[in-house]
Homo-oligomer: A and B are copies of this chain.
């Protein structure tokens, strides 16, 4: 990927080193999940932990860099959808699907992503914000077409995707459940008609979800 594969640290080039660490980390996180040991990554990359930490001051920073490296793919997915899919609802649907896959790149990734949403300092926020922006793009289009509830915001959709991805870890053996979860979310944001072009959505005129906490008298 980075092209520094064969001779590790041939030049004592900082950039090369960084790239190499990223490659190794990608591999490691893929194998062990995101909570693997930082030390192990440094060791595998053949650098001292200090070097690792110089490039990426903490796990989140490393994760963020890793995700950024994968951004390209997501961007091209987005482009492809925008190019190929006329129906804004289907477009949103496909984008969320792509996002869901992206977010499952490493085992346990949803966790730090969710955490990042609550912090302002995490380097992962930036990534998240990007995702949310694009999601908003698709969402607005779908809402304009009357295919998505108006009370939904991009951030909520992103969280839904995240939490669905999180839940999927529990149902690895049960693809049906995974599908059901996706379907719930899907039919959750979509208006009844589902269809592009259909306009009426009685409920969605408001910006508030139909059943708030207080709405259901317990």
Contact = CB atoms under 8 A, between A and B. Distances in A.
A160 B181 contact: yes
B153 A180 contact: yes
A118 B34 CA distance: 19
A216 B166 CA distance: 21
Contact of A114 (B97, B169, B192, B209): B169
- Pick from A115, A156, A192 the residue with the most CB of B within 10 Å: A156
Contacts of A171: 117-118, 159
Contacts of A213: 175, 178-179, 182
A155 interface: yes
A218 B192 CA distance: 23
Copies of this protein, total: 4
Interface in A166-209: 166-167, 169-173, 175-189, 192, 208-209
A208 B178 CA distance: 12
| Main DSSP-derived SS at the A contact region | helix
Contacts of A183: 149, 151-152, 188, 209-212
A72 to B, nearest CB: 16
Contacts of A115: 170
Given A90-B216, A97-B218, A211 B186 contact: yes
A98 interface: yes
Nearest to A178: B213
Interface of A: 77, 90, 93-94, 97-98, 114-115, 117-118, 149, 151-153, 155-157, 159-160, 162-164, 166-167, 169-173, 175-189, 192, 208-213, 216, 218
